Structure 1
């Protein structure tokens, strides 16, 4: 299971539009499930996007709308902005003992991936998803079944492995 939604709105409207076009990813520099923003054909906003170094015009329809994608410069600028404002969203890997919940374990032992600002919010997101399907599983049951919560991606990057301990 993967929970990929980020509930985020950026104060800077230009960056918010780029973030929206990309599907609000943790890391704007990686491929995302979308990259499209539609504006009125010949609209003032469309003209601004044409003049921006961060957008590329990709389509025009029957004269009513125009589509844009965020280009590599825009992705880099958004990434820099998220770091600058201290965006705290991370991807967490949550491992759990499914048998404790009366469920069959994943044979590949894959974690549940969740995007959240904290470990607690990541656990709560899993609870919201699981409780919709398995009504008999309590929050306490889920917390007892979780074996680990680890940061998988922070600031768009996988965390560095800890440095090896110095030799004695």
Structure 2
């Protein structure tokens, strides 16, 4: 599991949302991401906008598709946007049963509950109240 988990979010600013999507919607846009690409029609409106933007670098073209990667300037633009809108997602470390996971959450309680949902499939007798009492969670520096 990555130390830069993904987030399920949609951003109203479409240009910034494309950057977020291309990076795989990471908690920390400046950190390592599991992907960095966006495919669009070679002659599309998006391709023309991406080619003219310092936030994108064209990395290839095949058939009628153009492929772009987010630049460092694009990552910074996403980071600044997330800060400006008060994006609540943060990385948390949750330890339970000798195992530690890094998870994206909006609070320590949310991190514990999300982790509980992940493990409760395997431990059907486990109650959340018991899990929450045993699990340790902390915010991870981004």
Answer yes or no: same fold by TM over 0.5. yes
Which structure 1 residue ranges, 5 or more long, are not aligned? 99-104, 158-168
Instruction: Specify which of 108, 112, 125 is matched with residue 119 of structure 1.
Output: 108
Cα distance in 2 for residues equivalent to 1:23 and 1:2: 12
Instruction: Specify which of 151, 154, 166 is matched with residue 139 of structure 2.
Output: 151
Change (3 A) 1:28 1:133: same
Other-structure match for 1:60 = 61
Other-structure match for 1:30 = 31
Other-structure match for 2:88 = 88
User: Counterpart of 1:88 in 2: which secondary structure?
Assistant: coil
Cα distance in 2 for residues equivalent to 1:12 and 1:20: 12
Which structure has more relative contact order (CA 8 Å, sep 6+)? It is: 1
Q: Tell me which structure has the larger Cα radius of gyration.
A: 1
Contact 2:22–2:36, Cα closer than 8 Å, also in 1? yes
Quote the offset at 1:92 in angstroms. Answer: 0.8
- 4+ residue segments displaced more than 6 Å: none
User: Counterpart of 1:133 in 2: which secondary structure?
Assistant: coil
Which structure 2 residue ranges, 5 or more long, are not aligned? none
Quote the offset at 1:5 in angstroms. Answer: 3.0
User: Counterpart of 2:133 in 1: which secondary structure?
Assistant: helix
RMSD: 1.7
Other-structure match for 1:130 = 119
Count of residue correspondences:
141
Contact 2:6–2:27, Cα closer than 8 Å, also in 1? no
Cα distance in 2 for residues equivalent to 1:77 and 1:49: 14
User: Counterpart of 1:149 in 2: which secondary structure?
Assistant: strand
Can you list the C-alpha shifts for 1:41-64, whole angstroms capped at 9, x where unaligned?
Answer: 1111111111111001111112x2
Cα distance in 1 for residues equivalent to 2:121 and 2:51: 44
Quote the offset at 1:133 in angstroms. Answer: 2.3
Quote the offset at 1:2 in angstroms. Answer: 6.4
